[in-house]
Structure 1
């Protein structure tokens, strides 16, 4: 049965699209003690089940090419601690735009929860990003800025880090519309990194070193000013407030008991052993 592709607009057979890219889900499942991945806002819903029929095969392939570039050139080298500097060209901005756009057009963006002005800004961003992804506008026409902030291991945790920060930083996945002061942004969290797309205003101060250009190099450590450095802390706090129900916790416990070898070999227990020794790699500082 054909439906309208959310990107190209043609009536075609649609594929099930992950909201969080599949390479992230796959790494978490392969390296974790339990394959049950749960979200921040709804911990009883498994993230790997969050798919929607959004794109036709052609558009899925186009976005998949940018995902593959990001996975091989940034995600896996960061996870494996193979590099500290990351060169890129246009694929990085296209990937980031596609990530934020796909979240916006999914049901998980909860567009109706925002006031009319915010909904207008979000819809304008979606329309603009869709035009760029379709090639109707050149990438140089992208007026909204996008940012990649890398997280990693350091000797101590900042004093303001909330409970559960180590796990959220190392293995957390998350996607949300967030507000900072009077602005609205798309926040996407992968293990050891997060991306931020500006909606309104179109650009911000304090994220210069993390800004994604047409071509460039992401160098670490990064200097990320407040309030941007506090966004992942705020999201991590939600984890402690929205814990899985007792029934779901029992499912996890039962799985680990039935598959004890998966716990011993997993990154989940490695993260737990780190205890309070994992922190943001970038420098948290106040703007001058």
Structure 2
């Protein structure tokens, strides 16, 4: 039993082991992978059993998050990643779910990289407090702390200069980051097939109405979305980083992956890892073989 102060509500008591990215997401990536394993960027030469987690929340706050996660999993995540649909309706739970993810991402990144710039520190603390007030029901709306939701699909062709693993990055990868610059902050949470982008008074907010999560509910369907300036290049850069990271897997670990693949070729062929790779192969040809996948 771990005792401490809940990072969200401040209550002191028993803390629960909480995942920063929801547990069901990591489980799906693992279960639908070619080998049944995942690897985390922090230690690429070791197979991981689970994604990042820590004792952060009290039982009551953990239950809050769990309820919104359940709605997202059943109504959006599983239907989309299983390619059953590209349309869905959502209720007021999606704004809460996205806000909770942005809060977790920003909290996690700050815990890993303490801020030395006072302006950034003050700005991020204001965002955390604003998100927490909404999550806990102390305020009825998000104010300037908008949540934007982008469903992703496979790319078949593009005129842009994109990395050869872009479909694997869009369809399979998980990622958390905070983008700060020019007095603006964007909180980036990447799930397989989805991006949640938290904005705080962003100058391009008005151009991003299509992706803005409605507090009272709405619909997700294929449409044109506007990305903030430089965001596309940022995504392509992150995909390239994954590619470069997986080039550094040791010969011993590569042999282990190859052995697992040879042992169960039927699993590989039926996996979502292979399906995502196939999209890159169709788009880029043999050059798609160079980058490795983030989940084996």
How does the TM-score come out when normalised to structure 2? 0.83
Residue 81 in 1 paired to residue 83 in 2?
yes
1:99-149, Cα deviation, whole Å (9 max, x unpaired): 1111222367534156221121111111111122122222x2432111111
Counterparts of 2:237 and 2:197, CA distance in 1: 14
1:137-176 matches, within 5 Å, as 137-138=139-140, 140-176=141-177
Aligned-partner SS, 2:66: helix
Aligned-partner SS, 1:48: coil
Moved more, 151-160 or 186-195: 151-160
Structure 1 counterpart of 2:10: 9
1:18-72, Cα deviation, whole Å (9 max, x unpaired): 1111111111111101333234566357482411111122211110110111111
Length, aligned pairs only: 278
Moved more, 258-267 or 90-99: 258-267
Structure 2 counterpart of 1:285: none
Counterparts of 1:276 and 1:264, CA distance in 2: 14
In the superposition, relative to structure 1, how do residues 108 and 236 fare at CA in structure 2: closer, same or farther (>3 Å)? farther
Stretches of structure 2 that go unaligned for 5 or more consecutive residues are 285-296
Aligned-partner SS, 1:269: helix
Q: 2:276 aligned to 266, 271, 280, which one?
A: 271
Counterparts of 2:146 and 2:282, CA distance in 1: 32
RMSD over equivalenced CA pairs, Å:
2.7
Counterparts of 1:196 and 1:107, CA distance in 2: 15
- Contact between 2:109 and 2:177, CA under 8 Å: does it hold in 1? no
Structure 2 counterpart of 1:240: 243
Aligned-partner SS, 1:112: coil
Aligned-partner SS, 2:198: strand
Structure 1 counterpart of 2:124: 122
Counterparts of 1:276 and 1:205, CA distance in 2: 37
Counterparts of 1:203 and 1:196, CA distance in 2: 13
- Contact between 2:164 and 2:280, CA under 8 Å: does it hold in 1? no
1:209-228, Cα deviation, whole Å (9 max, x unpaired): 11111122222133324433
Structure 1 residue 203 displacement after superposition: 6.4
Counterparts of 2:213 and 2:282, CA distance in 1: 29
Aligned-partner SS, 1:223: coil
Stretches of structure 1 that go unaligned for 5 or more consecutive residues are 280-288
Structure 1 counterpart of 2:287: none
1:1-288 matches, within 5 Å, as 1-40=2-41, 43-44=44-45, 46=48, 48-106=50-108, 110-113=112-115, 115-138=117-140, 140-179=141-180, 183-199=184-200, 201=202, 204-214=205-215, 215-225=217-227, 226-243=229-246, 244-246=248-250, 247-277=252-282
How does the TM-score come out when normalised to structure 1? 0.85
Aligned-partner SS, 1:87: strand
Counterparts of 1:122 and 1:102, CA distance in 2: 12
1:156-187, Cα deviation, whole Å (9 max, x unpaired): 24432113212111111111112466522110
Structure 1 counterpart of 2:294: none
In the superposition, relative to structure 1, how do residues 28 and 160 fare at CA in structure 2: closer, same or farther (>3 Å)? same
Counterparts of 1:248 and 1:180, CA distance in 2: 38
Counterparts of 1:82 and 1:223, CA distance in 2: 22
Aligned-partner SS, 2:267: helix
